[in-house]
């Protein structure tokens, strides 16, 4: 059961104390408080955990600090969209707003290789009005002998250059709890020239200890990739692990599924699930067309397959696009075959604008 308090309720007020006292007196029910900083107001939600079947809903609704009570009948307690709930997870990080209506492109390097390529990438982003990017420092690789990423060694120049080119948020995968500390220490040392969104890769979607560790911190928002070989519900539960530990600034990323029928795509593009994730949960949803499609092929109409897939996600309301670019794809150390080139960036952005506008027109039609 979820108890939503009147916005901006002060925890020192009589109303709050009386409400908390009553809820604490409920037998065999554990309370978990959750604070959400919404647009202009602070919301407090209290989760009643245990067997709430016997709890009198009307009695709780009549408590002085309570706005409403939602009976949660299915999974995803915090991130799920429960009966009559509207709105979405809505947060601002380093000046960039994320919710189920926002739209941002995170174009960048799958893996950081050298300062020169990082700089060329970031400069191109700035020239094209972008403030977000992706930069892989810790790379989980199928083959133990493949390049594993430069790790913490590359963080100083990546963060410094990001600051130089006005980048506000870098999506960066972490594969171990220790990486959070490494990122945090480096950013702190440099005076936080940029921000980081911690990315959890598809191979770690169910690494529960990593999820819990990332969920325990609130400094960085999280981008969780859907597990490529598990059900959607299992991946959404993985996102809930983050929220259950206290961090609900979570964006869910569709990145294609491993099946025996995905060929000639690298993974089976699953962007048709995008509206379903929005219906089942309040999370903003990202798409990763690069890891889904996996090639630089284009169709006879001249449009890259990666862009066709991107459009399919955006036309259904994607809130974010994570996409691989590289100044020289043939020299990239990871995933070169799917990287777009810097001279393709302006058209890529223009194409997403066309589709995003079409999506807006579509929803206006159905309002
Ligand atoms: C990535 O985005 O660099 C990546 C490794 O993606 P995924 O976890 O989806 O394979
Ligand atoms: Mn990759």
CA of 8 to the centre of ligand 1 (A): 39
Closest-lying ligand 1 atom to the alpha carbon of residue 225: 9
pTM of the model: 0.88
Closest-lying ligand 1 atom to the alpha carbon of residue 322: 2
Domain match, 154 and 46 both: no
- pLDDT one-digit tens code per residue, 43-83: 899 999 888 888 999 999 999 999 999 887 667 989 999 87
Domain match, 220 and 146 both: yes
- What is the Cα–Cα distance from 226 to 94, expressed in whole angstroms? 25
Domain match, 182 and 295 both: yes
The percent of residues in the chain predicted with pLDDT above 70, rounded, is: 99
Does 298 fall in a domain?
yes
The mean predicted confidence, pLDDT, of the chain is 95
Expressed as residue numbers, the domain containing 31 is 2-70
What was the pLDDT predicted at 165? 98
Q: Which of 40, 70, 100 is at the close of a domain?
A: 70
Does 202 fall in a domain?
yes
| Contact (CB, 8 A) for 51 and 251 | no
CA of 175 to the centre of ligand 1 (A): 11
- 35: CATH: 3.30.70
CA of 342 to the centre of ligand 2 (A): 17
Domain match, 134 and 198 both: yes
Closest-lying ligand 1 atom to the alpha carbon of residue 253: 9
How many domains is the chain partitioned into structurally?
2
CA of 291 to the centre of ligand 1 (A): 7
Domain match, 49 and 130 both: no
Does 7 fall in a domain?
yes
What was the pLDDT predicted at 38? 66
Does 77 fall in a domain?
no
Domain match, 180 and 256 both: yes
Does 340 fall in a domain?
yes
Strand partners, 30: 49
Does 86 fall in a domain?
no
Sign for the pseudo-dihedral over CA of 315, 320, 322, 323: positive
- pLDDT one-digit tens code per residue, 192-244: 999 999 999 999 999 999 999 999 999 999 999 999 999 999 999 999 999 99
Nearest CA to ligand 1 atom 6: 201
- What is the Cα–Cα distance from 266 to 71, expressed in whole angstroms? 41
Residue 232 three-state SS: helix
Domain match, 169 and 53 both: no
- pLDDT one-digit tens code per residue, 261-320: 999 999 999 999 999 999 999 999 999 999 999 999 999 999 999 999 999 999 999 999
Mutate which of 134, 139, 203, 225 for ligand 1? The one with the most ligand atoms within 8 Å of its CB, which is 225
- 159: CATH: 3.20.20.70
| Contact (CB, 8 A) for 235 and 226 | yes
Does 82 fall in a domain?
no
Domain match, 99 and 57 both: no
What was the pLDDT predicted at 320? 98
Domain match, 24 and 106 both: no
Domain match, 314 and 177 both: yes
Domain match, 337 and 286 both: yes
Given a cut of 70, is residue 39 above it in pLDDT?
no
Question: Which ranges in the chain belong to alpha helices (H)?
Answer: 14-24, 57-61, 115-127, 155-164, 177-189, 208-216, 232-244, 274-280, 289-293, 305-314, 345-366
CA of 215 to the centre of ligand 1 (A): 20
Domain match, 142 and 64 both: no
Does 76 fall in a domain?
no
What was the pLDDT predicted at 99? 98
DSSP per residue, 9-26: --TTSHHHHHHHHHHHTS
Residue 99 three-state SS: coil
Find the mean pLDDT for residues 121-142.
98
């Amino acid at each position: 059961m979820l108890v939503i308090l009147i916005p901006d309720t002060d925890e020192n007020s009589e109303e709050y104390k009386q409400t908390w006292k009553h809820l604490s007196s409920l037998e065999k029910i554990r309370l978990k408080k959750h604070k959400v900083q919404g647009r202009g107001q602070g919301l407090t939600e209290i989760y009643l955990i245990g067997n709430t079947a016997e709890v009198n809903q009307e009695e709780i609704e009549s408590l002085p600090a309570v706005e409403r009570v939602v009976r949660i009948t299915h999974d995803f307690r915090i991130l799920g969209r429960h009966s009559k709930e509207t709105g979405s997870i809505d947060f601002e990080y380093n000046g960039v707003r994320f919710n189920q209506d926002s739209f941002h492109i995170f174009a960048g390097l799958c893996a950081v290789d050298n300062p020169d390529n990082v700089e060329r990438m970031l400069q191109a982003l700035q020239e094209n009005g972008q403030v977000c990017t992706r930069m892989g420092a810790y790379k989980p690789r199928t083959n133990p002998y493949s390049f594993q990423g430069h790790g913490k060694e590359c963080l100083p120049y990546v963060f410094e250059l990001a600051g130089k080119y006005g980048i506000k948020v870098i999506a960066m995968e972490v594969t171990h709890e220790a990486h959070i500390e490494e990122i945090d220490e480096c950013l702190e040392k440099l005076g936080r020239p940029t921000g980081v969104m911690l990315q959890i890769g598809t191979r770690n979607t169910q690494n529960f200890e990593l999820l819990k560790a990332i969920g325990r911190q609130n400094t960085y928002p999280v981008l969780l990739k859907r597990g490529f070989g598990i059900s959607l519900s299992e991946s959404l539960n993985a996102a809930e692990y983050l929220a259950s530990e206290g961090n609900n600034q979570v964006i869910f990323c569709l990145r294609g599924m491993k099946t025996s029928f995905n060929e000639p795509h690298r993974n089976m593009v699953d962007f048709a699930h995008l509206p379903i994730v929005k219906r089942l949960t309040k999370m903003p949803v990202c798409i990763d067309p690069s890891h889904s499609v996996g090639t630089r092929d284009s169709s006879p109409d001249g449009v890259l397959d990666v862009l066709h897939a991107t459009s399919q996600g955006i036309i259904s309301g994607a809130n974010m696009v994570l996409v691989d670019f590289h100044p020289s794809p043939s020299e990239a150390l990871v995933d070169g075959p799917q990287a777009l080139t810097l001279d393709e960036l302006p058209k890529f952005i223009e194409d997403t604008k066309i589709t995003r506008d079409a999506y807006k027109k579509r929803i206006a039609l159905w309002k």
